[in-house]
Amino acid sequence: MSKHGRILVAMSGGVDSSVAAVMLHEEGYEVIGLTMKTWDYASSGTNSKETGCCSLDSINDARALAVGYGFPHYILDIRNEFGDFVIDNFVDEYLAGRTPNPCVLCNTHIKWEALLKRADKLDCEFIATGHYANIRKQDNGRYVISKGKDVNKDQSYVLWGVSQANLARTKFPLGSFSKPEIRQMALDMGQIELAGKSESYEICFVPDNDYRAFLRHKVEDLEERVGGGNYVLADGTIVGKHEGYPFYTIGQRKGLGIALGKPMFVTGINPTTNTVTLGTADELERKEAWVKNLNLIKYETIDQPLQAITKIRYKDAGTESTIVQMGEHMKVDFHHMVSGIAPGQSAVFYEENDLLGGGFLL
């Protein structure tokens, strides 16, 4: 009988989840490792070599570590669920002129559900991941996510959608450590190759981070359907032709293929008319945003104005704001102008280091 009970650990084969599994094993948990196969590159129409969390090498690395430490390891194929939900949504959002957030959707609707379903079958009380974030239970009974110690690696932004029921059974062993400390732990374990593994910042199912090529492969005759639309200014003046509205995102400056004598950015996308609006940096700025599909973490509701820091993208430092629920939406009033609010991306709210919740930008 283990000291702390049985725990299912999501293992990608990378240094973070591997060290998390070993930490829990050495703390006295009965660890079971699980690697989820979400995607294979053959489905993307690319010749790129498989890399990252879904590659055969990564799966073998996770299994080898588990065998070396004497705990079980399983592989779970969730490609069908992942493709039907995350990938279909990814394509649909770009076709709707929005910029999707697939990692949030995967965590919210696929990975946690798949982990807990398998945890129940294996009689595991808890699940654990290698995310850099912290979790605690408040006096009011709610489970609160807070930022990880390593500000450069903090991953709380992509966790806003996880439900209270799922958080109640979740552990984040790496929350109080920095990335260099985790690499050093791997070295101390004798895992030299693991400690030196590079990190992938790509979307796992988009080879070489080329989402445009991915869309072309997934959507038949896409370029013929959307190519040759108009670039327009805010007043409707046509200034050129673009390659197709799904290939652009709000705030984009590079790769526009047009010169107007000054820096221009994508400020609007209209799928109905296949137009892409260009404007100056000033025209990208907003002081207000609306957010849908809310999931609140720290408080059950925010029906009175609350001071918060709002992040509108993963690497955003965040902006002071006032937030308040208005029906099914959150109204965000920024205390100063913010640039590049992209519909479809996540808006995530913080109270100091605590995650208040989040949703998708309208």
Same structural domain, 21 and 43: yes
Known binding residue 154? Answer is no
CATH number at residue 251: 2.30.30.280
**Within a domain: residue 18?**
yes
Final residue before a domain boundary, out of 196, 212, 239: 196
Out of 53, 54, 103, 204, which one is annotated catalytic? 204
User: Residue 301 belongs to what domain range?
Assistant: 285-361
pLDDT tens digit sequence for 9-18: 999 999 999 9
Known binding residue 17? Answer is yes
Known binding residue 14? Answer is yes
Is residue 208 very low, low, confident or very high in pLDDT (cuts 50, 70, 90)?
confident
pLDDT at 43: 59
Same structural domain, 118 and 247: no
| pLDDT at residue 84 tops 80 | yes
When divided into structural domains, the chain yields a total of 3
Q: What is the mean pLDDT of the chain?
A: 93
| pLDDT at residue 233 tops 90 | yes
Same structural domain, 192 and 250: no
pLDDT tens digit sequence for 279-338: 999 999 999 999 999 999 999 999 999 999 999 999 999 999 999 999 999 999 999 999
Same structural domain, 107 and 22: yes
pLDDT at 2: 63
Known binding residue 13? Answer is yes
Q: Is 103 a catalytic residue?
A: no
pLDDT tens digit sequence for 46-68: 545 554 556 788 899 999 999 99
Is residue 41 very low, low, confident or very high in pLDDT (cuts 50, 70, 90)?
low
pLDDT at 4: 83
Q: Is 106 a catalytic residue?
A: yes
Known binding residue 189? Answer is no
Known binding residue 15? Answer is yes
**Within a domain: residue 220?**
no
Residues 6+ positions from 35 with CB-CB distance below 8 Å: 10, 11, 12, 13, 53, 58, 59, 62, 63, 73, 74, 75, 76
**Within a domain: residue 211?**
no
Contact 75, 65 (CB under 8 A): no
Contact 37, 59 (CB under 8 A): yes
Residue 109, exposed/middle/buried by CB under 10 A (0-12, 13-18, 19+)?
middle
Full-model pTM = 0.93
Same structural domain, 265 and 289: no
pLDDT tens digit sequence for 93-148: 999 999 999 999 999 889 999 999 999 999 999 999 999 999 999 999 999 999 99
Out of 53, 54, 103, 106, which one is annotated catalytic? 106
Known binding residue 11? Answer is yes
Same structural domain, 105 and 248: no
Residue 40, by phi and psi: left (phi above 0), alpha (psi -120 to 50) or beta?
beta
How far apart (Å, rounded) are the C-alpha atoms in residues 356 and 299? 7
Burial state string for 272-306 with b = 16 or more CB within 10 A and e = fewer than 16: eebbbbbbeeebbbeeebbbeebebbbbeebeeeb
| pLDDT at residue 34 tops 60 | yes
Same structural domain, 272 and 290: no
Same structural domain, 111 and 243: no
Same structural domain, 315 and 271: no
Same structural domain, 188 and 252: no
| pLDDT at residue 165 tops 80 | yes
Q: Give the residue ranges of DSSP H helices in the chain.
A: 15-27, 56-69, 79-82, 88-95, 102-105, 112-121, 164-167, 179-188, 192-195, 211-218, 222-226
